[in-house]
Structure 1
Amino acid sequence: MDSSNHEQTKTEIAGSFVAQTNSMIFIPRFPFLQGKTYIIKTNDYQKEFFVPKSVKSKPEVTEIYPTKNTIPENILRMYIQFSNPMKTTGNLKNIKLYDSNGVEVKGAIFNNVYELWNEAQTQLTIIFDPSRVKTGLKINENLGRALEAGENYKIVVSNLEDIYGQRLKNSYTKHFYVTEEDTQSPNHELWRVTSPKANTVESLNIDFKESIDIMSLQNRLFVFTSHNDRIDGKIEFSNNEKSWKFIPNQKWTKGDYTLKINSRLSDPSGNNLNGLFDHKIGSLKYRQEGKIQELKFNIK
């Protein structure tokens, strides 16, 4: 399947086909862009179809994570969230880092071949060049880290377009101060777990004592019953990503439960339960990445 504004430029659309009794359904990996013409093409058939634009509010940046305004100099990832689903290519050139003198810090943000978007195309992951974050590498030795402790910086996001062809309503600026590197891994044994009451849909609350990477908050923590059945629910985080709430879809019942934690759960600097991102050989806690750790709690 191809998409084009004119015959000369065509891009194959990634997706999958599902066979029906008398038809075939194509499910695109990412939403079709509105206001664009697409072509369905087989060996002996070709047909164009147009996806009309719908009226939408102009997109805005709703948040940049980490939300705190102090960032360690060895930060690895940030996340930019948008109000609308966005186009997924050509955006990194419009996301710039500046020092306190207004000079652009070039080469700080890693220029991925494929941008890292969530499925809804509303969250973009930006990575600070790992070869500069990690010590002992030639690029780090030659250039040092992009961020310097004791200095102020800002990230400016501008001119990105949503899938409807609309540019950001306003540019967005996040100001932050850089602190010394973070050389402490998260430690689940220090977390404070507050259990809800039985026969309610009160939240299970966790205080991590430090900021946790939001992808870890979304994808590395799971709640199970004593029979090893996973509980479905909604996740919320707050307090500069130091606090996590789990609200179940069904009322809690009395009994024992387990919070299962993938050891890849990390802080914004990439330090995880298995060790530091900038670790020495032989310093990791577990031989197997992704080993599951457990925290038990009881509901009365």
Structure 2
Amino acid sequence: MNSLRLKLVLVALAMLITAQRATCGWANDASPRIELNDAAGTRATIDVVGLSETELAAFDALSPEERVAVLQVFVESDLKDPPPVGGRVSIAGKRLPFTPRYSLEPGVRYRAVFERARLSNEGSSRTKPLEAVLSIERPSAAKSTVVEHIYPSADRLPENQLKFYVHFSAPMSRGEAYRHIHLLDETTGKEVEGAFLELGEELWDDRFRRFTLLCDPGRVKRGLKPREELGPVLEEGHSYTLAVDAAWRDAKRRPLKSGAAKRFSVGPPDDETVDPDGWQLEPPRAGTSDPLIVRLGEPLDHSMLVRVLSIVDAAGKKVPGTVSTSDDETCWRFTPKRAWGQGSYRLVVDTTLEDLAGNSIGRPFEVDQFERVQRRIQTKTVSVSFDVE
């Protein structure tokens, strides 16, 4: 009986604590703290974490001016009353991040002061400010990150070229890409202004090592007002240089080891759809791990080539292996993880696969400019069969 009573008391106590947490807004972590949030590829912020739901709600009700007074950041110095660092304080989930107007400088010591009393009913006399001194590690002087490749690889591109991919050897910072990429018209000697679609959310892969650069579609697609007013991004017969300057910083805030440039000439626009029926397949021999080689007949989108093609066996099971491209993205190679078995296989292709001008399988990029499209593909994939003997 005593054991049962003890269990009942413990259960009641747990319920009371839970009720008190819900009523008073206690956080699971009763110790708010200030942290430096310096994730790779993002602008560093100074965050307050560990607040209760009640405190977060109180902050959410404040005006922008009142929010700034809750969390202030100063540069550590001998000044008696140093001015605060300019920025804004917002709410992000259960964090209160201070985002500086200008990036925090590596090696500089910052003192953050969080006035917790402004979010409670206890008054400032009972709740002391929370303070922390933080700094971003100064990057090493050695510059090591380079541009590994700029796709497409070909040195002659169609006038309606739609995108470029810039590959780096290490993760890069975000938010400054468009300041460091320039398109120079070597024929006129001038930089092409407004050539690219500048997105607020830059297009990076999940490792921040591949940046997708889109030419302004309004100046690529014929018949649209931006093209009529500003002209095309690229002009047939001209030569260009796509330049990446060395001031672009990597995720450790170090400039690139060197700049990079891709030089190319421009040919006529490409309005033809991608047609897998015209591809040439070179099947490997059974019992070997030789690659399947596919001659594509034209350069295709590099990023999509490594993602939207696959091999399945006669039973419909996907064959594991690795993919590579060569010959300016006109050749696709698949190397199996295990030796090929004798039998029938299929090369499965997603119909979203594009060429350099954005034409996909059964759908030209300029589709609305054609009165009649000869063939429209409705399925999500198409396949090409081959045998391994």
* Cα deviation, residue 59, structure 1: 1.0
| Aligned mates of 1:54, 1:89 — CA distance in 2 | 19
Matched, 1:234 2:332: no
| Aligned mates of 2:324, 2:184 — CA distance in 1 | 31
TM-score by length of 1: 0.82
Give the SS at the match of 2:255.
coil
Give the SS at the match of 1:219.
coil
- CA spacing shift, 1:176–1:296, aligned 2, 3 Å: same
Matching of residues 6-155 of structure 1 within 5 Å? 7=73, 9=87, 58-100=144-186, 101-155=188-242
| Aligned mates of 1:99, 1:299 — CA distance in 2 | 48
Give the SS at the match of 2:367.
coil
* Cα deviation, residue 54, structure 1: 8.1
* Cα deviation, residue 269, structure 1: 0.6
Larger Cα Rg: Structure 1 or Structure 2?
Answer: 2
- CA spacing shift, 1:113–1:94, aligned 2, 3 Å: same
| Aligned mates of 2:268, 2:249 — CA distance in 1 | 35
- CA spacing shift, 1:178–1:231, aligned 2, 3 Å: same
Give the SS at the match of 1:202.
coil
- The residue identity in structure 1 corresponding to 2:231 is G
| Aligned mates of 1:225, 1:12 — CA distance in 2 | 53
Residue in structure 1 matching 2:283, options 186, 195, 204: 195
| Aligned mates of 2:271, 2:160 — CA distance in 1 | 9
* Cα deviation, residue 50, structure 1: 7.7
Give deviations 1:257-276, integer Å, cap 9, x for gaps. Answer: 11111111111110111221
Cα root mean square deviation, aligned: 3.3
Give deviations 1:224-248, integer Å, cap 9, x for gaps. Answer: 1111111121111010100010111
| Aligned mates of 1:278, 1:161 — CA distance in 2 | 37
Aligned partner of 2:301 in structure 1 is 213
Aligned partner of 1:297 in structure 2 is 386
The one of the two structures with greater contact order (alpha-carbon pairs below 8 A, sep at least 6) is 1
- The residue identity in structure 1 corresponding to 2:329 is E
Identity score, percent: 28
| Aligned mates of 2:375, 2:90 — CA distance in 1 | 44
* Cα deviation, residue 174, structure 1: 1.2
Please tell me whether the aligned partners of residues 185 and 275 of structure 1 are also in contact (alpha carbons under 8 angstroms): yes
Matched, 1:180 2:268: yes
Bigger helix fraction: 2
- The residue identity in structure 2 corresponding to 1:181 is P
TM-score by length of 2: 0.65
- CA spacing shift, 1:241–1:166, aligned 2, 3 Å: same
Bigger strand fraction: 1
* Cα deviation, residue 61, structure 1: 0.9
Task: Give the total of aligned pairs.
Answer: 280
